[in-house]
C-alpha cells in the first residue's frame, strides 16, 4: 500500500528549505511525497496575508490526499509543525513528524548573538548559506505578517494536547530561530504513547543544510517505515 507524505514549510520559508528531504524520500517506491508553497510566500516580501489562509491552504491539500490514500504522513517544519499538529487533530493521520516546531516564538536572544558574529561566521563555507538566508529573513519580515504568525501559534498551540497519532519530533541543539523548549513542550503534551523526541547535536534551524542532513533524513524514513529498523535506532542519540 502506497503512503502519502505531505511536507509543510515554515514561516518566511518555501519549498527550498525542505527540498533535500523531499528528494530523499521520493527515492522510496512506496512513498508519494507532496510539498507546496504557503500563500504569500511566493513573493519576495510577505505582506497582506491572514494566518487562516495558511491553515486553509494546507487543509485543502490534505483533503485532496485523503481521497486517494488511506495512510498519510504529515511533516511540518517550524510554523509548518504547528499547522501539521492542528490538522493531525482534525483528520486521521497515520504518523506525524515535527521538525523544530515553532510552538515558542522566534529565538531573538540567539539572533542577537548571531548578528554580532554574522560577518565572521558568514565567511565560513559551511555557514554561508545559513546566514545568507537568516539575513534575508530579517528583511522579509513585515510587522503585520509577523503578527499573523504569532496569532497562528497562539491559536493552535493548545491543539498539540489532542494529537494522538504516532509522532516523531526532531530539533537541532543550536537552533537559532526556535527554542528547544518548543519541542519539549510538544513532546510533553502530545496525547500518544508512541512519541519520540530527538535532539540532534550541532544542527541549526535549517537542518537540511547541515552536515547531518542524511542522518536526519534516514531517521525520518525509518520512522515512517517503522518495524524492526526503527526499533533499532529509536533510542539512539545523535
* pLDDT score of 147: 85
Residue 149's domain spans which residues? 3-233
Let me know if residue 38 belongs to a domain. Answer: yes
Q: In the chain, where does DSSP find H-type helix?
A: 19-26, 51-66, 79-90, 108-116, 118-122, 128-140, 143-156, 180-189, 213-225, 227-233
The CATH number linked to 116 is: 3.40.50.1820
Let me know if residue 136 belongs to a domain. Answer: yes
Distance (Å, whole) CA 217 – CA 169: 13
State the total domains in the chain.
1
Let me know if residue 238 belongs to a domain. Answer: no
| Cell reading at 161 | 494536547
DSSP letter string over 213-235?
A: HHHHHHHHHHHHH-HHHHHHHTT
First-last CA distance in the chain: 31
pLDDT in tens, 127-181: 545 555 555 555 556 677 788 889 999 999 999 999 999 999 999 999 888 989 9
Let me know if residue 45 belongs to a domain. Answer: yes
pLDDT in tens, 176-207: 889 899 999 999 999 999 999 999 999 999 99
| Cell reading at 223 | 520512522
Burial 73-90 (b: 16+ CB within 10 A, else e): bbbbbbbbbbbbbbbbbe
The three-state secondary structure class of 70 is coil
The 8-class DSSP code of residue 126 comes to: T
Sign of the torsion angle spanned by Cα atoms 87, 93, 99, 101:
positive
Let me know if residue 190 belongs to a domain. Answer: yes
Name the CA radius of gyration of the chain, rounded: 17
Let me know if residue 101 belongs to a domain. Answer: yes
pLDDT in tens, 216-232: 999 999 999 998 888 88
| Cell reading at 65 | 490526499
Amino acid at each position: 500500500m502506497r503512503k502519502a507524505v505531505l511536507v509543510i514549510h515554515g514561516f518566511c520559508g518555501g519549498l527550498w528549505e525542505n527540498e533535500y528531504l523531499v528528494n530523499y524520500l521520493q527515492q522510496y517506491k512506496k512513498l508519494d511525497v507532496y510539498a507546496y508553497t504557503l500563500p504569500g510566500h511566493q513573493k519576495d516580501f510577505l505582506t497582506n496575508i491572514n494566518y487562516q489562509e495558511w491553515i486553509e491552504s494546507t487543509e485543502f491539500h490534505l483533503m485532496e490526499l485523503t481521497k486517494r490514500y488511506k495512510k498519510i504522513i504529515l511533516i511540518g517544519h517550524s510554523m509548518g509543525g504547528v499547522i501539521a499538529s492542528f490538522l493531525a487533530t482534525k483528520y486521521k493521520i497515520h504518523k506525524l513528524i515535527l521538525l523544530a516546531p515553532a510552538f515558542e516564538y522566534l529565538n531573538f536572544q540567539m539572533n542577537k548573538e548571531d548578528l554580532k558574529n554574522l560577518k565572521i561566521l558568514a565567511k565560513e563555507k559551511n555557514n554561508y548559506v545559513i546566514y545568507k538566508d537568516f539575513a534575508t529573513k530579517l528583511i522579509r519580515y513585515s510587522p503585520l505578517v509577523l503578527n499573523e504568525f504569532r496569532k497562528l501559534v497562539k491559536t493552535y498551540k493548545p491543539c498539540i494536547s489532542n494529537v494522538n497519532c504516532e509522532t516523531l519530533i526532531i530539533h537541532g541543539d543550536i537552533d537559532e530561530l526556535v527554542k528547544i523548549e518548543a519541542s519539549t513542550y510538544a513532546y510533553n503534551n502530545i496525547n500518544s504513547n508512541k512519541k519520540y523526541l530527538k535532539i540532534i547535536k550541532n544542527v541549526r534551524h535549517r537542518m537540511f543544510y547541515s552536515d547531518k542532513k542524511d542522518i536526519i533524513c534516514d531517521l525520518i524514513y525509518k520512522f515512517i517505515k517503522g518495524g524492526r529498523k526503527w526499533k533499532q535506532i529509536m533510542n539512539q542519540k545523535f
